[in-house]
Chain A
Amino acid sequence: MAEPSGQGAHISGQFNAELDAATSHMLEMGGAVERQVLAALDALVEMDSGSAQAVTESDAAINAMEVAIDDECFRILARRQPAAGDLRLVLAITKVIIDLERIGDESSRVARQVIALSEVSDTDPARPWSGRIANTVINMLRAALDAFARRDAQAALAVARGDETIDQQMEGAMQALTAIMRRDPAMVDACVTAMWALRSLKRVGDHARNIAEYVIYMVEGVDVRHTELETLLDWLPEREQQ
């Protein structure tokens, strides 16, 4: 992979190796979380409570990864006192893994809703909206992690704007579920449970957006949290190359 700050190597090869290791461990954790979201989606589509149960149990491994990577970053901070781009990289990793861990939690929540749903219904009443929303958030998560690996602030900005799509899809899903409940009051329990699952999927998108914002921070040194992203489009500073 690229050098830690996307530039020349450190005089200290060991420092390079430590930053590289923390970055790849974070990306591995990202991969594990992504697989967990996919597994939760599969369980939802197949309405398979057995695989949903497996998803809830995979949380422990992800939690352990978060703790280990945090520890790695603390050691780098204590021993290397990183500055500038290196400092932003380490801080970004410590923040990204918090969002990754929460994405893991949301996948577990989706899986728990699948187990609850499977007791009252054979199918997911929110189909096909749940699949669309899940695809959107999984793509956002992937793109955010890719942007991190490539240190691409523009790509991260595009991820952060993926929010709009989710909002539209959520609106569609809510209308569909409301229509079902009006038509068939017996479906109220199933629809409410499905709404909880959708809400957790949407949250995955929110966390992916956070990750994208940390990528912008890491690359540009600009904190864009709580900022209208459109206002930042023209503003991202041109990093001088000389």
Chain B
Amino acid sequence: MSTHGINIDALQRRPWDTIQDADVALSVEDLSLSYNGAPALREINLRIPRRRVTAFIGPSGCGKSSLLRCFNRMNDLMDGCQLTGRVLLEEQNIYSPEVDVSQLRRRVGMVFQKPNPFPMSVYENVAYGLRIQGMNKRRRLDEIVEKSLRSAALWDEIKDRLHENALGLSGGQQQRLVIARTIAVEPEMVLLDEPASSLDPISTLKIEELIYELKSRYTIVIVTHNMQQAARVSDMTAFMNLGRLVEYDSTDRLFTNPRQRQTEDYITGRYG
């Protein structure tokens, strides 16, 4: 179509159609999930781009956390959980029998709503995953601990308190410590389940800034109740409701001109 300098085809194109196969870190295919027969996720299909931030939003109980937990098989831990469909991490189905789940969870790290540092020193918290992997060279551990704490924007604040108990840190510091612990083992993907919802606004902004920094190295998926947070930090946003994926699009598009009425109602505060 000819216009004055405007490419209508480009306007029409849905951004998520333009995610190239080579840019897909994780791909969800016909995924359904139920707990003791009660469906939690219904035929989800979506592709998570590599080294981008993807946000899942939706009302409580919409399935966004359940979906997130499928990405590192956290749902395996729940009784009565049944799953069909496939989740491909770098083209490998993470639900196939040959997958080593602890290896998977090293590749796909997870941070929860409530900061959960281990009751040990700051240093040992970050070194924990590395020690489990059998690394015990002090110099190497020191290096990685420092690098991880720097990446988590925490080093300057606590470099003199590395051997104090992590439970003595503030909530925001604890959450960044947990992120440092997660990235110390160099995962490919970091899942964040409401990572800032127990934090004050300043700590929240620090976490958001951190997410922005981390996306140059990791694929990040964040579940959040806070729509403005999704709008601020993510590149792609998925809106879910009643276990279904209602709309998945670039964050720019979804927050300015969603295609689905349900999405519009939810993000403008008309969801009742």
Contact = CB atoms under 8 A, between A and B. Distances in A.
Interface string A1-35: 00001011111100100000000000000000000
Interface residues of B, number: 29
A164 interface: no
Contacts, number: 77
B172 to A, nearest CB: 23
Interface string A82-123: 111111100000000000000000000000000000000000
Contact of A228 (B2, B263, B267, B272): B2
Contacts of A183: none
B262 A242 contact: yes
A168 interface: no
B3 A228 contact: yes
A7 B264 contact: yes
A222 B264 contact: no
Interface string B230-258: 01000000000000000000000001111
B15 to A, nearest CB: 14
B103 interface: no
B1 A231 contact: yes
Interface stretch (B4-12, B76-84, B134-142, B160-168): B4-12
Interface string A198-242: 000000000000000000000011100011100110010101111
B133 interface: no
Chain A interface mostly: loop
Interface in B140-180: none
A172 to B, nearest CB: 27
Nearest to A225: B6
A95 B1 CA distance: 27
B6 A227 contact: yes
B13 interface: no
B199 interface: no
B97 interface: no
Interface of B: 1-6, 8, 11-12, 227-228, 231, 255-265, 267-272
14 contacts: A7-B261, A8-B265, A11-B269, A11-B271, A81-B228, A84-B268, A87-B255, A226-B5, A227-B3, A227-B6, A232-B8, A237-B259, A240-B261, A242-B261
Given A5-B264, A10-B270, A83-B267, 6 more contacts: A82-B268, A83-B255, A221-B257, A222-B11, A228-B2, A242-B260
**Nearest 6 Cβ contacts at the A-B interface:** A221-B257, A83-B267, A227-B3, A8-B270, A226-B4, A86-B268
